[in-house]
Structure 1
């Protein structure tokens, strides 16, 4: 029996955190595939990429920024929530505001943008790729805020996939450590060691494209992408 399913073409893809790290790699991959990347971030992306500057810790501002971006580029067929921050250290040593900001950006910012984007994704029968972490699979010391937020993103994504089945594709990306600025500015104890194996964000972005181009009726529910020698999994 011959399959009639054909991969989707890349259309307009909104990328949160698209100015650096994995988000920037996704922007490059979308553009290289002939799509139109559009960015929500606190910092402007590379020249020529449509964007709106926004602090994703503010859910109301995040939703408003998505509408402004749609005014620029039209209804998106994909959304990738790559924005994320961390606050390392023992719970008793992290300022309450810093701890809660991690949850606001990583979880509430993700939810706010997804919520605002859903009407457009339903129109285009599109796909949302939420970004968790291997620390959504297990907890580690001195990362309570990050683990709490990423565990929550995983649960949110699973529930969202059940809720939107047949209407909007939902893929949870679980990436391992990557060569990105995410670890910059940390004290030595919270940075990958000299022998750490980190993935190229371009490779992870390639997996995101695979999720975004699944034929209508086929979805990748969850994918783990990491360097072969990644130590944070299993």
Structure 2
């Protein structure tokens, strides 16, 4: 991906590889990165807990309230512990009894460094990004297409047009959300298919639906408020006094 950057792309690739090709230095760097990431996730979780104690929790309705707060322990602790145990049981079934179910048979074939593999498939969680990347034939264009994906995901919490963040009383937003989920599943399926018709055409249409969600979400925050006007008026009035 870095090689698509003009002028300095090749220099960045050489710096990331630690040489002019993938070698032992490259493997050591990525192994160290994979070893470091879990600790970064733990640190981010601790920051989340600190913010939870500082600013308080949200609620299913998404209504800001300083009165009806719930303590982190035992409610949130037990609630998250139940989800963690359920996930651990579900994942343990694959780990201990069916470790090859989610794998790819080609992984057991010894690699040949001379030819390029005819069909390269990334891990399942990278498949939607891979589908957007290859939806544009040009390499630089594909890299430029996946950059807005991360920008949109990072910008979503900062959309201030939504009086209520919850979708409980916003049927239009619910429909758009399920459309986004279906589009993500479609992108994941397209990402593991060979580069041929009709998968190429579907892969070029699906990213538009994905970006459409983030384009109309601020508008839906104004149109489908789904909450009585007196709350929004009081909220605006309190903001004016502040």
Establish whether TM, by shorter chain, passes 0.5: no
Higher strand share: 1
Which TM-score applies when normalising by structure 2? 0.23
Higher helix share: 2
Computing the radius of gyration over CA atoms, which structure comes out larger, 1 or 2?
2
Which TM-score applies when normalising by structure 1? 0.24
